Amino acid sequence: MGSPGWYCIFLFFFLLSSHSARHGVNAAPASQERQQEYDKIKSLPGQPPVSFAQYSGYITVDKKHGRALFYWLTEAAIDPTAKPLVLWLNGGPGCSSIAFGASAEVGPFRIKKNGSALYLNKYSWNREANILFLESPAGVGFSYTNTSSDLAGFGDERTASDSLTFLLGWLTRFPRYKHRDFYIAGESYAGHYIPQLAKKVHDYNKVTKSNLINLKGFLVGNPVMDSNYDNIGTVNYWWSHALISDATYKSILKFCNFSRPADRTEKCNDIIEHAATHDFGNINPYSIYTPSCPTSSKSRLSGILLKNTLIGSPTYGYDPCSENYAVQYYNRLDVQRAMHANTSGIPYKWTTCSEVLTQWKDSQVSMLPTYRELIKAGLRIWVFSGDADSVVPVTATRFSLSHLGLPVKIPWYPWYSDGQVGGWTEVYQGLTFATVRGAGHQVPTFQAKRAFSLFKSFLAGRTLAGVGMAEGGRP
């Protein structure tokens, strides 16, 4: 999810009726300059005063079908013209980057109980960059399509293509960001979205011989990477962290062939269902050592299976019910008006994870070939893992990364934040891996300061601080 509070793996079977697109498709202002001014947010309901500019609205990615993607830009708090642009994507597939990335992870605001107002996130990533949040694909959050059949046709390929079309359209509307240093960040199933979009951008730049989208690299947390290796690593995490019994562990190994996901047996599915609903108990699988929200149901744990994969703190200030506050806040009409959202009359409520996408058409079985291509292209690539996540756990990511066979440049060492071990890291030829100690699936939610330290080091292109090193220094 990327990410999400709860990983959106079961996609609900609702059809989206067609609706007219008043904004972004049929009635956009005449000029991009006027459209940009239209998108500017004066102030959000219950928002504390801020010094940075915000914009939100729609970019059409398919006029014929009426597909439009919703974005929210929070410009850098200091010197935005000199700061890079970072696109944030949550996963799911089907989960909202507004709900999670913007409102519970790296955005400038957090939502108060009952969706009543906002308060500041002191570790917002817009302290270091201009952050662009995108709800993708259409059918997620405020993003929509006028063609209901689209909702059964989304998959990795269309999502990546629409995201590239969005970027090109968005840069036309905001030309000051053309040629700006550009990075992509996110988590979970964005472990597919991010490398796939990075490849689309890289290929576009090769064909056009342009750095209009000046892609420098990407940063992805607890990513879905490889169906086989992720699943093996996940099951080992469950057993080694005492989440499942010896009997369940042995049964999974006996009856589940992760190397052939299309041939998964009903017996295997039954065992996984048992592990999720019986062995786990009523915990938050995205952060196994923190409390669950009392309103969360046990049945949500059964969503750990996601098609081909097994996907589907005590920490300061963590509220396990924050997802509920997002639902309350973003369904307020005054909030939607302030954000220029839902201007076309979407016939369903805003949800943190989509309830209208009916299936996921294509999912790349392994992202490792794409990683190899992008490493060869010279992009800066960092992968990080919160070590308290059981959905896409650190063992899954390490096992998948090991099959890239990358030479080690800087061997494993602990990195520090505020004099405490923030996690562990190893630097490979072409890729940096880091863990974040005490963090769950959405790392910045559970360990905001450690995640911010990691982000600053990534942007600076510096290794994480070890013993005797300044933060962001070199060993």
Is the pLDDT reported for residue 303 higher than 70?
no
Q: Which range, of 23-32, 205-214, 356-365, 397-406, averages the lowest pLDDT?
A: 23-32
Is the pLDDT reported for residue 284 higher than 60?
yes
Q: Which range, of 30-34, 149-153, 245-249, 404-408, averages the lowest pLDDT?
A: 30-34
Q: How confident is the model at residue 128 (pLDDT cuts 50, 70, 90)?
A: very high
- pLDDT value of residue 422: 98
Q: Which range, of 27-41, 277-291, 367-381, averages the lowest pLDDT?
A: 27-41
Is the pLDDT reported for residue 350 higher than 60?
yes
**Going by DSSP bridges, is the β-strand pair 408-417/420-428 parallel, antiparallel, or unpaired?**
antiparallel
To the nearest whole percent, how much of the chain has pLDDT over 70? 87
Overall average pLDDT of the 155-173 stretch: 97
Q: Which range, of 253-257, 319-323, 339-343, averages the lowest pLDDT?
A: 319-323
Tens-place pLDDT, residues 50-77: 999 999 999 999 999 999 999 999 999 9
Q: Which range, of 41-55, 210-224, 256-270, 377-391, averages the lowest pLDDT?
A: 256-270
Q: Which range, of 26-30, 40-44, 213-217, 236-240, averages the lowest pLDDT?
A: 26-30
Cα-based angle 456, 459, 463 (whole degrees, multiple of 5): 70
Q: How confident is the model at residue 31 (pLDDT cuts 50, 70, 90)?
A: confident
Overall average pLDDT of the 74-86 stretch: 98
Is the pLDDT reported for residue 23 higher than 80?
no
Overall average pLDDT of the 375-397 stretch: 98
What residues contact residue 394 under an 8 Å CB cut-off, 6+ apart?
A: 222, 237, 385, 386, 387, 435
- pLDDT value of residue 116: 93
Joined together, the tokens standing for residue 310 give 């097994």
- pLDDT value of residue 265: 83
Q: Look up tokens 């149901």; give the residue.
A: 297
DSSP conformation letters of 276-326? IIIIS-S--TTSTTSPPPTT--GGGGGGG-BTTBS-----TT--TTHHHHH
Is the pLDDT reported for residue 306 higher than 80?
no
- pLDDT value of residue 11: 28
- pLDDT value of residue 469: 59
Overall average pLDDT of the 253-263 stretch: 83
- Report yes or no: 463 and 475 within 8 Å, Cβ to Cβ: yes
Distances (CA, A) of 91 to 34, 38, 110, 152, 374: 32, 29, 20, 17, 20
To the nearest whole percent, how much of the chain has pLDDT over 90? 78
Mean pLDDT of the chain: 88
Amino acid at 223: P
Q: How confident is the model at residue 447 (pLDDT cuts 50, 70, 90)?
A: very high
The whole-angstrom distance between residue 323's C-alpha and the CA centroid of its chain comes to: 15
Q: How confident is the model at residue 341 (pLDDT cuts 50, 70, 90)?
A: very high
Overall average pLDDT of the 287-308 stretch: 58
* Active site (catalytic) residues: 188, 389, 441
Overall average pLDDT of the 146-152 stretch: 91
**Measured between alpha carbons, how far is 203 from 191 in angstroms, rounded to an integer?**
19
**Measured between alpha carbons, how far is 196 from 93 in angstroms, rounded to an integer?**
14
**Measured between alpha carbons, how far is 222 from 210 in angstroms, rounded to an integer?**
32
Is the pLDDT reported for residue 411 higher than 70?
yes
**Measured between alpha carbons, how far is 21 from 120 in angstroms, rounded to an integer?**
33
Nearest partner of 54 among 65, 40, 64, judged by Cα? 40
Joined together, the tokens standing for residue 366 give 């392994």
Q: Which range, of 7-21, 81-95, 313-327, averages the lowest pLDDT?
A: 7-21
Q: How confident is the model at residue 168 (pLDDT cuts 50, 70, 90)?
A: very high
Is the pLDDT reported for residue 4 higher than 90?
no
Sheet (strand 214-221) strand order: 54-62, 67-74, 130-135, 85-89, 181-187, 214-221, 380-386, 431-436, 420-428, 408-417
Distances (CA, A) of 137 to 141, 143, 165, 194, 384: 9, 7, 12, 13, 24
- pLDDT value of residue 475: 40
Overall average pLDDT of the 26-32 stretch: 54
- pLDDT value of residue 468: 61
Residue 381: its H or E element: strand 380-386
337 or 469: whose pLDDT is higher? 337
Nearest partner of 100 among 182, 222, 265, judged by Cα? 222
Overall average pLDDT of the 300-309 stretch: 35
Nearest partner of 270 among 295, 305, 240, 246, judged by Cα? 305
Is the pLDDT reported for residue 193 higher than 70?
yes
- pLDDT value of residue 197: 98
